[in-house]
Structure 1
Amino acid sequence: MSVPSLKNLIAPLCPKPAIWATGQASQSVSFSGSSKRMETRRSGHRTKVFFDGGCRPNPGTIEAAVVIRGAAYLFDDLGQGTNSDAEWLALICALKQALSLGLKDIVLIGDAREIIDHAGEALRTGHAPHAHAATLLDLAKQVPGARIRWIKRAQNLAGIALAARHPR
């Protein structure tokens, strides 16, 4: 029995089929106003925004994935850095993508506990100990009440989307 790929599992949930584009994801995806309809339907619920980042090798070229409402947004060549840099940049990409979709009531979900802890502290205190946290705080001003939460790696849809790009 064959196991369906993540793309085949997520595709039926996507508002448009061309979601798996790379690069500037917000430019390659058009929701034609459907996000407003979805927001009305989801009133009272936070939209889950999954994020994950990685680099190959470590340190190396950074890539990130963001999954919102079943749509995977992939970001390539975000510069050079470590896995920590990749996770921070994925978090920043997630917030930017949520903003580009007009989402305001969100929870950012990732699997890098250290980044989640540091980002959560930055959001709580308003203190940014480094450039990535400062960027996060600047973006978070546009989404008051945004939350951040840790989940296990196996539950992170963005991590699954990113892993699907590099079969073993």
Structure 2
Amino acid sequence: MNATTWHAWFDGATKHTNPGIRGVGGLLKGPAGERIEISEDIGEGTNNEAEYAALMAVLDAAVAAKVQDLIVYGDSQLVIKQVNGEWLINAKGLVPMCKTVRRLMAQIPKVSLAWIPREENTEADALSKKAVGVTGQGPVDRTIWTNITEIAKPFGLSGVAFGKRMDLAKLRESGKPTQLALDKGCALLVENSFGHQVYWHKKLLPAALREAMLLD
């Protein structure tokens, strides 16, 4: 590891609904033991907006600290691939946020973004949840979140048939939501004594399948 390299982690959270109250979490660690924590409530919006805002907050702190060499880690595949120019930005509201991120990155001589699994981003995740007052998941709004079978009914499909389309759209793998599904706000993981309970968004999941041209 380079003796001058800083490392940063970012994460955005929404409080039980998407859109909802947003929080950003960030952590920067310097080579000499420096530690900068970020935990802020930024009002209502979507989870992807929260992820972008968290990345902006981390980069802004790095610029203020005059960091010269930085690696930033996040679990939002969508944000990282959009900023790196690998994915198109379909949501208009994210375009100016992406431009701001790139402008901040341009102020740091050496900077890169790297994706990590959610389970490796625990400190930033805890800071983002702290910002919106979430220490654990509260009651799920069942008017928004439900199971696949219920979502499939209005389309005349069984839960199994609907699930196969989700697999083709890479929204689910081995029965679990993929990172893409989480980034799009289609899935909600609620911690319980057995691990996680999965809920699916009544509107955003069908919208994601339509976007993938797998649902009429």
TM-score using structure 2 length: 0.51
Aligned mates of 2:10, 2:63 — CA distance in 1: 14
**Is 1:118 the equivalent of 2:86?**
no
Aligned pairs (5 A) from 1:1-168 = 44-56=3-15, 57-69=17-29, 70-76=35-41, 78-121=42-85, 130-156=95-121, 157-163=123-129, 165-168=133-136
**Alpha-carbon deviation of 1:43?**
5.5
Aligned length: 120
Q: Sequence identity, in percent?
A: 25
Deviations 1:36-84 (A, max 9, x none): xxxxxx86442111000112231022210111124421112x2321101
Structure having the higher Rg: 2
**Alpha-carbon deviation of 1:159?**
1.2
The answer for unaligned runs of 5 or more in structure 2 is 30-34, 87-93, 137-216
Structure 1 154/142 Cα, relative in aligned 2: closer, same or farther at 3 Å?
same
Higher helix share: 1
**Alpha-carbon deviation of 1:145?**
2.5
Identify the structure with bigger relative contact order (alpha carbons < 8 Å, sequence gap 6+). 1
The answer for unaligned runs of 5 or more in structure 1 is 1-41, 123-128
Q: Tell me the amino acid that sits aligned with residue 78 of structure 2.
A: E
Checking the alignment, whether the CA contact within 8 Å between 1:154 and 1:160 is kept in structure 2 is no
Q: Secondary structure of 2:110's match?
A: coil
Aligned mates of 1:71, 1:140 — CA distance in 2: 18
Q: Secondary structure of 1:166's match?
A: coil
Aligned mates of 1:132, 1:109 — CA distance in 2: 18
Q: Secondary structure of 1:102's match?
A: coil
**Alpha-carbon deviation of 1:112?**
0.7
Q: Tell me the amino acid that sits aligned with residue 127 of structure 2.
A: A
Aligned mates of 1:160, 1:63 — CA distance in 2: 10
Deviations 1:6-54 (A, max 9, x none): xxxxxxxxxxxxxxxxxxxxxxxxxxxxxxxxxxxx8644211100011
Select between 106-115 and 53-62 the one with higher mean Cα deviation. Answer: 53-62
Q: Tell me the amino acid that sits aligned with residue 49 of structure 1.
A: A
Higher strand share: 2
